[in-house]
Amino acid sequence: MKNKNDKYWNLLFVAPTVLIFIFVVLVPFIIGIYYSFFSWDGIQSNPKIFVGLRNFINVFSDGRFLNSALKTFIFTVLGVITINVLGLVVALLVTSKLKTKNLVRTFYFMPYLIGGLILGYIWKFIFSDGFAIIGKVTGLDKFFFNWLLDPNFALIAMVFVFTWQMAGYVMIIYISGIQAIPGDMIEAAEVDGANRWQVFWKVKLPLIMPAVTISLFMTLSNCFKIFDVNLSLTGGGPAHATEMFAMNIYNEIFSNSNFGYGQAKAVIFFLVVAVFTLIQVSITKKREVTM
Amino acid sequence: MTKRQANVFVWIGSLLVLLVSIVHLSPLYILFTNSFKTREELYNNVLSLPSKFSFQYYQVAMERMNFWTSLLNSIVITVVSTILIIVLSAMTAWVLARNESRPWAKWIFMIFIATMLIPFQTIMMPLIQFFGNVQEVTGIPFLNTRGGLIFMYVGFGTAMSVFLYHGFIKSIPFSLEEAAYLDGASKWTVFWRVIFPMLKPITNTVVILNVIWIWNDYLLPSLVLADEHLRTIPLSTFSFFGQFTIQWNLAMAGLLLTIIPVIVFYAFAQRNIIRGVAEGAVK
């Protein structure tokens, strides 16, 4: 009797969540894979024409898409490096003897809470009109000009803004990694005559490898999937030069009305994200030092 | 070096680092100071303080952004979605964790984890198509309603939340529940009286992560909500910018308005936020 009741309770506790989840995530995911084999303009009454793998083949001759993939790759590499270096440096400072460490932590973390869209708009002003005005006033117009009008500088601006947003986030992860190191281990190294540099490379860094794994994993996937900052800061411009992967998919579907083709890109997007994250987790898991 | 000298050294270093972190927040200063300036003043010097503090741009920005309506929409959508995500995923995670050896529980949990890899852009179009069709067939208004958006947030939020709760529940000994069962309590009572209060630390994490994500999310509401009176803060910021990009002083006032709620939230819950974000990432 009790067992039977238990079954109903289990169902009551699990079913609503699973049903909503199936409706919102699983069904659209499966429909999405189905759509990617069709040519369709998104209008219900218009026919969906089965094209097999054509959409996936066309991707390789789509210049705008290939450029977007390349720019996303460059952006991700640069972003992962700058975010993690800055985050780690600040985390090391904040866990040192600084008297102002709480304030510093508070200030660095703050940008993470401001949404990517709003934050992109703030920086849009600084990099466009703000920089132009400063350049005019100071005469340093080799550096202070409208960065968002230059394809290369616009990409750097995106790296800069995303670093500004995400460094505080990985700082938090690194701080918990550093704080987990037993104090006597560092003391022992210092007694043995290790200088700060050696303590960092030989003691701290190997022991915070779990935090490094997490941070790299998070920043890699966040950089690769960037959309909001892209939309508000550069809008993909100038002339699609900074159109990242996610925005290219969005534009292909909703601006060009190529629902099938755009969805094929979306499926590729998923595959890349999945493969990258799985490889990275398996590599860094091996290198972690167990305490 | 004497102790006193070392102390001075630490203080100088501390102040230097503090100074750098203040510079780190200088964009917020630029936002603040230029939101009070006239157009000419702004183009004369972007870094100076305004000659006088008048709130006229704030007033205009508030009206054009429909600020109070979008603030209310953002609050309602974020709060209701987060509460539903917590209740549903805590209940689900508990049952899944306590039946871990059974195949159905294993499968459901694995599917939750696996789908965390799916980027939103991969399902956004079919999601909207599908709910459009469901709405046509059943008449349930999923699109262009707050309720429909909340339903979708619950669907997207549960995977990670179930995962976090699941890990935490496994560390709670079963003996506590057993005692309650022996006293004749039902599963419902045991969950709410015994289990849920013990989940408090991880509930904090789940709340913080979901609130940050839902509050700042632009893409999903932009696809679901069309009516102006339903707009959340990111949506009204976007449309506001579409219309007034050139008027930077007005734009600055609008942007500052949108981040005030975030700053207030941060000021009151800083410890919880930082702890929540750290734990959410490390798990």
Looking at the fold, whether B84 and B166 belong to one and the same domain comes out as yes
CB contact under 8 A, A133 and B281: no
Nearest CB partner across the interface for A24, out of B22, B152, B188:
B152
Query: Within this chain, do residues B119 and B188 fall inside the same structural domain, yes or no?
Result: yes
The tens digit of pLDDT for each residue in B141-195 reads 999 999 999 999 999 999 999 999 999 999 888 888 888 888 888 889 999 999 9
**Residue B283 counted as domain residue:** no
List, for residues A33-77, the tens digit of each pLDDT value. Answer: 999 998 888 888 888 888 888 899 988 989 999 999 999 999 999
Residue B99 sits in the same domain as residue B39: no
Option in A113, A254, A259 nearest B262 (CB): A113
Residues of A in contact with B25 (CB under 8 A): 107, 110-111
Per-residue pLDDT at B283: 65
Q: Are residues B90 and B160 in the same domain?
A: yes
Q: pLDDT digit string (tens) for A78-95?
A: 999 999 999 999 999 888
Residue B197 maps to a domain: yes
Q: What is the pLDDT of residues B202-253, one digit of tens each?
A: 999 999 999 999 999 999 999 999 898 999 999 998 888 877 666 888 888 8
Checking if the pLDDT of B133 tops 50, the result is yes
Check residue A286 and give its pLDDT.
Answer: 67
The answer to whether A209 and A285 are in contact (CB under 8 A) is: no
Report whether pLDDT(A2) > 70: no
Dump pLDDT digits (tens) for A226-277: 999 999 999 887 888 899 999 999 999 999 989 999 999 999 999 999 998 7
> Residues B83, B218: one domain?
yes
User: Do B11 and A99 lie within an 8 Å CB cutoff?
Assistant: yes
Domain that holds residue B198: 66-244
Residue A287 has a pLDDT of 62
Domain contains B171: yes
* Average pLDDT across chain A, whole number: 88
Domains of chain A from N-terminus onward: 61-287 (1.10.3720.10)
Mean pLDDT of A128-140: 83
The secondary structure of A262-282, three-state, reads HHHHHHHHHHHHHHHHHHHHH
pLDDT at A112: 92
Tell me which chain A residue has its CA closest to the CA of residue B208: A113
For residue A171, give every residue at least 6 positions away whose Cβ sits within 8 Å of its Cβ, in sequence order, or none. A86, A87, A88, A90, A91, A94, A105, A108, A109
Closest residue to B158, CB basis, from A21, A172, A269: A21
Å between B178 CA and nearest CA of chain A: 13
Peptide bond into A238 cis (omega under 30): yes
Distance from C-alpha of B261 to C-alpha of B192, rounded to nearest angstrom: 32
Contact B88, B203 (CB under 8 A): no
Give yes or no: residues B37 and B123 share one domain. Answer: no
Examine the domain organization and report whether B40 and B79 are in the same domain. Answer: no
Q: Does residue B58 belong to any structural domain of this protein?
A: no
Same domain for B95 and B28?
Answer: no
Number of domains in chain B: 2
Cα of B156 to nearest chain A Cα, Å? 7
Instruction: Assess whether B211 and B71 both reside in one domain.
Output: yes
Q: How far apart, in whole angstroms, are the C-alpha atoms of residue A48 and residue B129?
A: 13
Instruction: Answer whether residue A289 shows pLDDT above 80.
Output: no
Per-residue pLDDT at A3 exceeds 60: no
Strands (DSSP E) contained in A27-152 are 38-39, 49-50
Q: In this structure, what DSSP letter does residue B229 have?
A: G
Beta-carbon separation of A32 and B96 below 8 A? no
CA-based nearest residue to A253, from B10, B167, B120, B34:
B120
Measure the CA angle with vertex A214, ends A208 and A220; round to 5°.
130
Contact B14 A98 (CB under 8 A): yes
Of the pLDDT bands very low, low, confident and very high (cuts 50, 70, 90), residue B271 is: confident
Same domain as B87, residue B31: no
Which among B27, B45, B118 has the least Cβ separation from residue A122? B27
Determine the pLDDT at residue A1: 39
Q: At residue B2, does pLDDT exceed 80? A: no
Among B151, B155, B270, select the one facing A106 at the smallest CB separation.
B270
> How many whole angstroms separate alpha carbon B231 and alpha carbon B254?
15
Q: Indicate if B27 and B94 belong to the same structural domain.
A: no
Residue B271 domain-assigned (yes or no):
no
In a domain, B277, yes or no: no
pLDDT at A291: 42
Contact A17 B237 (CB under 8 A): no
Query: Residue B179 maps to which CATH number?
Result: 1.10.3720.10
Within an 8 Å CB–CB cutoff, is residue B27 touching chain A? yes
Q: Is residue B176 part of a domain?
A: yes
Please judge whether B251 and A121 are an interchain contact, meaning their C-beta atoms are less than 8 angstroms apart: yes
Q: For A159-202, how does the pLDDT look when each residue is reduced to its tens digit (9 = 90+)?
A: 999 999 999 999 999 998 898 888 888 888 888 888 888 888 88
Residue of A nearest to B14 (CA): A98
Cβ neighbours of B123 in A, within 8 Å: 25, 28-29, 32, 266
3-state secondary structure B101-154: CCHHHHHHHHHHHHHCCCCHHHHHHHHHHHHHHHHHHHCCCCCCCHHHHHHHHH
Q: Which tokens sit at B133?
A: 């069709």
* Distance, CA of A290 to CA of A207 (rounded, Å): 8
Structure tokens at A220: 């890699």
Is A6–B187 a contact, with Cβ atoms under 8 angstroms apart? yes
Taking only the tens place, the pLDDT of each residue in B27-59 is 889 888 888 888 778 777 777 788 878 888 888
pLDDT tens digits, one per residue of A200-230? 888 888 888 888 888 888 898 899 999 999 9
B72 and B33 in a common domain: no
Looking at residue A285, its pLDDT comes to 65
CB pairs under 8 A between A and B: 231
Q: Is residue B252 domain-resident?
A: no
